[in-house]
Amino acid sequence: MKLGIFTVLFGDKTFDEMLDYVAASGLQTVEIGTGGSPGDRFCNRKELLQSEEKRKAFLDSIARRNLEISALSCHGNPLHPDKAVAQEAHETFQETVLLAELLGVPNVVTFSGCPGESETSKHSVWVTCPWPTEHSEILKWQWEEKVIPYWREQNQFLKDHNVRVAIEAHPGFVVYNTETMLRLRSACGEQIGVNFDPSHLFWQGMDPVLCIKRLAEAECIFHVHAKDTAINPYNTAENGVLDVKPYQDENARSWIFRTVGYGHGEEVWRNIISALQLAGYDGAISIEHEDSLMSIEEGFEKAVQFLQPHLIRKKLDNIWWA
């Protein structure tokens, strides 16, 4: 496995400054945003799609630092009931797939999306319980009429261009846990896999190691994010894990995102990395920083220091050590 970074956090740097900083930190891969939620600070996808010369310069800048691109990311909602929002996300996704093909990048990271509750919806509707009964009816309609038809079509598009989509399982979208990820892949095709991000699993009460085992059985772990979550046991005991308070309201929330090692300890992360190894994953561990208690540089550097020692593994006669 290779240690990398989701470069969206370095928006205050130029492309070359970002690459120099990442390379000097001893990393091996970069995950680059092409639009949608991460934005496109370091990648003008339309410009790169149109110019072979600019694509070559782009790749040369990365290769000169002994780095490689682990994924292009374009988090959005192509199933949004607002047709303009959905179309923008869809076009961004497909253009990102085309760019990934031209650049030789294997993975595009995005969300599954979430439709509304009907054809007349204005906003997406995330169903979290089966009752009242209309909730179950909405969920059935979403999957049968929107989710499966869309992603079946995208699976073929991905196959045609030899690129995979790594869906980030995220609450608020139809794919948010192991079961929904496997359902999407089973219904729509094998170009669809997961961007495995433990941070969204921790606060839902899921066991990342068990999730890795289940997802590995379907051979669908395509990319991995390294981000942690700290659970406040007192606020959770009082209010549960479904928390809509702003992320900046750290003291009142049931949980917040943290830099790796500041939500769960070394043993937990060792077990996650070991489970990925046993699953045969040899791709990037891409650091994602959303820790509101640390600066960008502090959170990034602490994550690198925490993870680097655990990604060096040797194997001899079935004995593993770091």
Q: pLDDT tens digits, residue range 267-311? A: 999 999 999 999 999 999 999 999 999 999 999 999 999 999 988
Average pLDDT over residues 229-254: 97
Average pLDDT over residues 250-273: 97
Report the pLDDT value the prediction gives residue 220, as an integer from 0 to 100.
97
Task: Say whether pTM exceeds 0.85.
Answer: yes
Confidence bin at 316 (pLDDT 50/70/90): very low
Report the pLDDT value the prediction gives residue 319, as an integer from 0 to 100.
41
pLDDT above 80 (res 318): no
Residue with tokens 């702003």: 246
Report the pLDDT value the prediction gives residue 310, as an integer from 0 to 100.
87
Contact 220, 194 (CB under 8 A): yes
Q: pLDDT tens digits, residue range 141-169? A: 999 999 999 999 999 999 999 999 999 99
- Which residue segment(s) compose the domain that 9 sits in? 2-321
Q: Could you give the angle at which helices 83-103 and 148-160 cross, rounded to 10 degrees?
A: 20
Q: pLDDT tens digits, residue range 57-113? A: 999 999 999 999 999 999 999 999 999 999 999 999 999 999 999 999 999 999 999
pLDDT above 60 (res 173): yes
pLDDT above 90 (res 312): no
128 burial via Cβ count (<10 Å: 0-12, 13-18, 19+): exposed
Q: pLDDT tens digits, residue range 33-42? A: 999 988 899 9
CATH code, domain with 144: 3.20.20.150
Average pLDDT over residues 117-137: 97
Q: Give the number of other Cβ atoms within 10 Å of residue 274's Cβ.
A: 16
Largest CA distance in the chain: 61
Q: Which of 21-35, 165-179, 193-207, 301-315 has the lowest mean pLDDT?
A: 301-315
Tell me how far apart the terminal alpha carbons of the chain are, to the nearest angstrom.
13
Confidence bin at 321 (pLDDT 50/70/90): very low
Domain total in the chain: 1
Report the pLDDT value the prediction gives residue 121, as an integer from 0 to 100.
97
**Mean of pLDDT over the chain:** 95
Residue 256: alpha-carbon gap to chain centroid: 17
pLDDT above 60 (res 314): no
Q: Could you give the angle at which helices 208-217 and 266-278 cross, rounded to 10 degrees?
A: 10
